[in-house]
Chain A
Amino acid sequence: MAVTTYDNRPRAGRHRRTPRTRALRPPGRPPAAILVAHLLVWGGAAAVLGLWWADTPSVLGAAGWLTGAGRITGLLAGYACAVLVALMARVPAVDHALGTDRLARWHAMGGRFTVGLTLAHVFSIVSGYALTGHTGLVRQGTDVVLHYPDMLKATAGFLLFLVTAGVSARAARKRMSYELWHLLHLATYAAVFLAFGHQLANGADFAGRLPAQIVWYVLYLGVAALVLWYRVLAPVRSALRHRLRVAHVREEAPGVTSVYVTGRRLDELAAQPGQFFRWRFLSRGLWWSAGPYSLSAPADGKGLRITVKEVGGHSAAVARLAPGTRVWAEGPYGGLTPARAKSGRSLLLAGGIGITPLRALFETLPGEVALVYWAHRQHDLALRSELDAIAGRRGGRVHYSVSGPAGHTLPMDAGTLSRLVPDIAERDVYVCGPAGMAETAKRAVREAGVPGARIHHESFAF
């Protein structure tokens, strides 16, 4: 039986009932995939350092220390650039195993670290050379840039790198649209390409060592091949194969629109509920960027549906799509899939437009499912009729909560959740919504006793 409830109790304030919770459990062991990924990345870094170690007989004087530090940071930065690009190559297996948002997070953190490494490298090398050659920093720097092989290109790459780093700073990102930022960020490909040559031409650890050079070529060419295939060729192939077009567009709620897309051989896409695609609508103003939107209904082989909330230029334009518009869909991406749920019982916590992937999961997750959906106002509860219908069909429970009018709010805390779902600690919990809501929900769920390994969350804020 479907149960639709509004909670009539006042919002929790001073008299919060103490929930009967178990002691906070530590987060579970991270999945094997994450461990493997760490091993690969750090193992590669150790191998790179080993190259330096094997190649350096001694470190002599201040100049030796500086040049040595310059070589180490240079090697690590070169390796890190390859890893960073690989993280963003959108290899489906990697994406599914680690999650798109985790990859994006690692990429962002690693990117900041690599910028630091590169700055340290430039400074140490120029100082070390200057000390060895008994010249001033400026003169040595100019000499290196103008007269060493491949250094003009490398300097251009370095400057591009700094520019994209600056543009990616949070302060700058707030001022520009995601699409513009993404476009600028692509300049890092050019930066990496320009800087590659100088590593082999000037790197003391590569000079005369063919095996090391070969390894470097393999590393970079391999990563380039991944990017070329998964980010360029595969989407084109997919577009040609599936010939997606907009079938029709429907408004679900004020500012929330569903788009139905049809095409050929859709089952080959193998999109699972909870996953998303990067959608490139080939219409004016939309063709040059790809927006990530989750499937809001399970892919039934006849069409794909996304539900988009107007939050900016791109999403507003999506709402105005004309039927027949051609579509390129890259994906599927995302790790928020039914396969994650091992317990047979699930709880879905949705905030705002986060309902979209959870709506698809609500329909397809096996076993017992409960859904709690937070929104601002009643009319913001998009897809509500569908949710009720699904709850009725399959016997799941759905609870709605709105911030207003007052009196219809479910507080997002461990006590409320435990009361709504007494066996919450044995369930798999999927969380999707704006960042603040997601963090609060995850905290509440952990407090209620759910182990970290059973909390599944994907953030879209990359």
Chain B
Amino acid sequence: MRGTHRVALTGLSTISGIALLLALKPHHADQPPLSSPEPDSGGGHGGSAPSASGGTRTGTFTGDAVQTKYGPVQVRATLDKGRLTAVKVLKTPSDNEKDRSIAADAVPKLTKEALAAGGAQVHAVSGASYTSDGYARSLQSALDKADSGKHGASRPAQQGAGSGQSTTGRGGGRP
């Protein structure tokens, strides 16, 4: 039927046109173009001068407003030797209640990339409060053991010696 042919043709050409437009745009995340550093360099070891190459920059920089789905957001980044250590949001679209709660939802996601930079080696672990049993399974106990183990000390005794250790009911499950 000519009708369906025309519909299919129109549909296909529209989809291709839109896909072409989208494809012509860059697909990598732009760093918010960073302007010159502010006088109060916050990061790192006390005021090292920001160097020219991006890889070893240290300091606090304010970027241009970045377009998010909620509107323009302006960001201040703190770098320590080229690594993002903190991101502070300066300007969020917040005309009304809804925008503010929406912006609150949008803001933290900007630092998602920075989370991955942490790496694995830690000295201690923070987590929801664990019981004694939970502790035994936690990473903190492994860290405690690893360090004490290195020095050949005996493992800490469980329960027992301390006075008043008995816990009733819900045990240590406090927030």
Q: Which residues of A line the B interface, CB within 8 A?
A: 49, 52-53, 55-61, 64-65, 67-69, 72-73, 112-113, 116-117, 129, 132-133, 147-149, 204, 207-208
- State whether A72 and B69 are in contact (beta carbons under 8 Å apart), knowing that A58-B26, A58-B27, A147-B98 are contacts in the complex: no
Work out how many contacts link A and B, with CB atoms closer than 8 A.
62
Chain B: residues with Cβ within 8 Å of the partner, total of 24
Q: Chain A binding site: helix, strand, loop or mixed by DSSP?
A: helix
Find chain A residues with CB under 8 A from B27 CB. 58-61, 64
Q: Would you mind naming 7 contact pairs between A and B with Cβ atoms under 8 Å apart? A: A53-B21, A56-B67, A60-B27, A69-B18, A72-B21, A113-B10, A204-B67
Q: How far is the CA of A207 from the CA of B91 in the complex (A)?
A: 14
Q: How far is the CA of A72 from the CA of B15 in the complex (A)?
A: 11
Apart from A65-B22, A69-B22, A72-B22, what are 15 other A-B pairs with CB-CB below 8 Å?
A56-B25, A56-B67, A57-B26, A58-B27, A58-B30, A59-B22, A60-B27, A60-B29, A72-B18, A73-B18, A112-B7, A116-B11, A148-B102, A204-B71, A207-B71
Q: Assess whether B71 is in contact with A57, with CB atoms less than 8 Å apart.
A: no
Q: How far is the CA of A68 from the CA of B15 in the complex (A)?
A: 12
Q: How far is the CA of A208 from the CA of B71 in the complex (A)?
A: 8
Q: Which of these, A56, A58, A149, contacts B96 with CB under 8 Å?
A: A149
- State whether A207 and B72 are in contact (beta carbons under 8 Å apart), knowing that A116-B11, A133-B105 are contacts in the complex: yes
- State whether A149 and B11 are in contact (beta carbons under 8 Å apart), knowing that A65-B22, A207-B71 are contacts in the complex: no
Find chain B residues with CB under 8 A from A49 CB. 21
- Near A by CB (< 8 A), chain B positions 113-132 give none
Find chain A residues with CB under 8 A from B19 CB. 69
Q: How far is the CA of A404 from the CA of B121 in the complex (A)?
A: 99
Find chain B residues with CB under 8 A from A147 CB. 98, 102
Q: Assess whether B67 is in contact with A55, with CB atoms less than 8 Å apart.
A: yes
Q: CB-nearest residue of chain A relative to B6?
A: A109
B93 CB-CB contact with A under 8 Å: yes
- State whether A57 and B10 are in contact (beta carbons under 8 Å apart), knowing that A68-B22, A72-B18, A133-B105 are contacts in the complex: no
Q: How far is the CA of A116 from the CA of B15 in the complex (A)?
A: 11
Q: How far is the CA of A208 from the CA of B30 in the complex (A)?
A: 21
